[in-house]
Amino acid sequence: MDANQIQALVTATIQATLAGAATPSATFTHSPGQALENQIKCSSLAGAKLCAKNTASLPAKFSLEKPNIHVLLMELNTRARSANSSEALKINVNQGTTLADDEKSMLVAHGQVTIEQCKQYLLTHIFTETQCTQNNFQICMCLARSVDSDTTKKMANESSNYMTQHPANPNHLKPCGICYLKLLLSKAKLNTRALASIICNRLTKLDIYIINTHITERCEPYEPL
C-alpha cells in the first residue's frame, strides 16, 4: 500500500468517525429549562446554575400589606414558562375522591381551589424523585424569596400549611410550592377585603366628618379662564 492509498484510508476513517459523532439538530426552545425532558441534575454545574435561576426572586417583591396579586401571578407565570414548570402549578381538585379528574391551574383558578385540595394532590408525588417534585420545590423557593420581610414572618407562622408531612414519617417534611402560593393568595385576599371594608365604612361616615371638620383656610372664588 503506497502513501497515497494510506492517506486516502486515513481521510476516509476520519470522515466516517466525524459523521458518526455528529450531534443531531437540537429541538428549538426559548430557554434551557424548556429543553429539559427529565429532572435537573443538580450536582452538575449546568444544573446548579439552572436551579439558581429558577429559584431566584421574582422582579417585584410581594407584600401582604399592599398586595398586588395580578403582578405576582403574571411574574410567576413568566418564570414557570422559562423553567418549564407550568404543569407543576396545576392540581387535580378531585384527587382522593371517586369523582372524575378536574385539573385546575393555580395561576388562573386559585379561587376555586382549597389548601386541603392542594395538600391532597401533592401527596401523590411530592415525596418521589421526579421532575415534578423538583419543580414544586423550586416554585416554593422562588415565592419565599419574592416576598418582603413582614410577609415572610406572617407566612412562617402558618408553615404547617405549606410544609408537607410524609404519611409514614412525621419528621420528614418538604416545602410545597402550590400550598405556599395558595396560602399567600388567601392571606392577600383577606387583607384586600379588610382594607376595602375599612374604606367603605369610612365613606359612609364622610358626611359626619365634613360637618365636624373645621375649615380654617378660605377658598378663593373660582374665576373661569
Q: What tens digit of pLDDT does each residue of 160-176 get?
A: 999 988 888 888 899 99
Instruction: For residue 18, tell me if it sits in a domain.
Output: no
Q: Are 70 and 78 spatial neighbours (Cβ–Cβ below 8 Å)?
A: no
Instruction: For residue 37, tell me if it sits in a domain.
Output: no
Please indicate, yes or no, whether the overall pTM of this predicted structure exceeds 0.85: no
Confidence of residue 51 (pLDDT cuts 50, 70, 90): confident
225, pLDDT greater than 50: no
| pLDDT at residue number 108 | 92
Instruction: For residue 80, tell me if it sits in a domain.
Output: yes
State the total domains in the chain: 1
Instruction: For residue 27, tell me if it sits in a domain.
Output: no
Instruction: For residue 24, tell me if it sits in a domain.
Output: no
Instruction: For residue 148, tell me if it sits in a domain.
Output: yes
Q: Which residue has the higher pLDDT, 113 or 225?
A: 113
Structural domain containing residue 143: 68-207
| pLDDT at residue number 149 | 95
Q: Are 91 and 151 spatial neighbours (Cβ–Cβ below 8 Å)?
A: no
Strand 103-105 versus strand 90-92 pairing type: antiparallel
Confidence of residue 69 (pLDDT cuts 50, 70, 90): very high
Instruction: For residue 94, tell me if it sits in a domain.
Output: yes
Q: Are 90 and 104 spatial neighbours (Cβ–Cβ below 8 Å)?
A: yes
Confidence of residue 12 (pLDDT cuts 50, 70, 90): low
Instruction: For residue 2, tell me if it sits in a domain.
Output: no
Confidence of residue 22 (pLDDT cuts 50, 70, 90): very low
